[in-house]
Amino acid sequence: MKNQKFMFGLGVALLILAGCYTVPETGRQSFIIPLGDEVSEGAAAFAEVKSKETVSHNPVYNERVQRIGERIAEAVGADLPTAKWEFVVFDEPKTINAFALPGGKVGVYSGLLVLAVTDDELAIVMGHEIGHVTARHGAERMSKGVLAAILGVALDATTQDSKNHDLVLAAYGLGAGGAMLKFSRDNESEADLIGIRYAAKAGYNPRAAITFWKKMEKEKTGGRLPAFLSTHPSDERRIADLEKWMRATMPLYEAARVRYK
């Protein structure tokens, strides 16, 4: 009983400590418990990935990812004020995937560069991943796990330790040994919306989101499931949502493309 009271008190204290966070671009109010320095943990996690994977020195790949990344970073601007942007290509032709970590650390696997033929398509994927970061979906997921643990609700196995690089990686969808964890359906949808807005503001055509997701779906029916699709299931609702958002997003693109001509 005493223990229960203590846990309840701790829960209340954490709730007071926890801040409300307004998600950029969508305005949603999110609830986050500060569990450490996300930015430095993101940087440490990124260093870990770089030490384990093969970093590509292909000049064409790197120039492309860097160029698109810099334009998106500019569009993100104040949504990620602490960012120390870094865009790295990993040499894995069979891996169709990308990820982003707090602090503006972005990894793109070379397999994705082949499938995302146009810069518009690549910008959509990078924008989506960066959207998870500016929306702080990983921190939100960890916060929910911590609060759930304190309140005695069933805890997801991946959210037990709050001070761990692997946890940061897991929270942003990249589990230990390359295992991927899914974001919630709502988080995915929100990253889609934020992603097309960043891409559009960077002068990339947001309509590429629709063609790209449909192309990804075809990859699946071709017999192999891209890593990206295993964590980013695409279906009719996703396409319908993207169609719905285009009317508000196209003007951002029209305004930005003049700058990048």
* The pair of three-digit structure tokens given for residue 77, joined into one six-digit string: 């601007």
Q: Which is nearer to Zn ion, 120 or 188 (CB)?
A: 188
Residue whose entry in the numeric block shows the structure tokens 């990308």: 98
86: alpha, beta or left, given left = phi > 0 and alpha = psi -120 to 50?
A: beta
Report the nearest approach of Zn ion to the CB of residue 7 (Å).
33
Please choose, out of 4-12, 46-54, 227-235, 252-260, the segment that lies near Zn ion by the rule CB under 5 A. 227-235
Of 68 and 191, CB closest to Zn ion: 191
Does 100 sit near Zn ion (CB under 5 A)? no
Adjacent-strand bridge partners of 248: none
- Quick check: 200 binds Zn ion (CB under 5 A)? no
Helix axes 208-221, 119-134, angle to 10 degrees: 100
Q: Please name every residue paired with 174 in a beta bridge, in sequence order, or none if there are none.
A: 180
Check binding of 191 to Zn ion (CB under 5 A).
yes
Nearest CB to Zn ion, comparing residues 86 and 188? 188
List the one residue out of 207, 200, 198, 179 whose CA is nearest residue 97. 179
Q: How far is the CB of 109 from Zn ion (least distance, A)?
A: 15
Are the C-beta atoms of 112 and 98 separated by less than 8 Å?
Answer: yes
CB contact set of 129 (below 8 Å; sequence gap of 6+): 98, 99, 100, 106, 191, 195
Rounded least distance, CB 46 to Zn ion, Å:
17
Does 242 bind Zn ion (CB under 5 A)? Our answer is no
C-alpha–C-alpha distance, residues 104 and 223, integer Å: 33
Segment interacting with Zn ion, rule: CB under 5 A, options 101-109, 110-118, 184-192, 242-250: 184-192
Determine the interface stretch with Zn ion among 16-24, 66-74, 99-107, 186-194 (rule: CB under 5 A).
Answer: 186-194
Residue 79: both structure tokens together: 């949504």
Q: Binding to Zn ion by residue 208, rule CB under 5 A?
A: no
Catalytically active residues, by annotation = 129
171 binds Zn ion (CB under 5 A): no
Positions in the binding site for Zn ion (CB under 5 A): 188, 191, 232
